[in-house]
Structure 1
């Protein structure tokens, strides 16, 4: 397959040139890798997952914001086994009592909820 495109935005051109220089690669290799990475991101989004990056310490996460990935995520379907569906039904019909930690976080509101 041959793909041709015109990139007019100077910032986009500079970004592509910077990546090519940094990685010492050509346009075809860059596009193949970009498509491969994006295909993975789409598959993750279709599975209902979020795509992002994590810092080396594992303490900060940045989510990828992209309209096409958002569209894929919106089309995601979720399949539950019968046991999973029954579990969700139980949670909806008989939600668990709030934990002490949740009550502490809610403060005075928790006392008002218990009274009703």
Structure 2
């Protein structure tokens, strides 16, 4: 059996604090229902993939490997670690780096690879 513990809620809370946002404004930015993030953080619950995708879409400077596993830095390499809006960054470069980090993550962590594969299969059924 695995020792994997999902502590994504801690990293989401860290992003909220770093961005100097309150939970409600963070929920509005990533377009999720009122109090869903706050409830998950209080309950120390994991987030569904759609919420994590919304976070990465809204904050493309966030390192997906770090968000999912806690490994690496909070921000993608070579990106200014400021609180400026993501729109100021070169989104094509960021998308490329996100893709590279996700591929690396898939190849590195068997449990994450299995979880993503399951979610992809479920999405294809819809």
TM-score (norm 1): 0.24
Structure with the larger strand share = 1
Structure with the larger helix share = 2
TM-score (norm 2): 0.23
Higher relative contact order (CA 8 A, sep 6+): 2
Give the structure with higher Rg (CA). Answer: 1
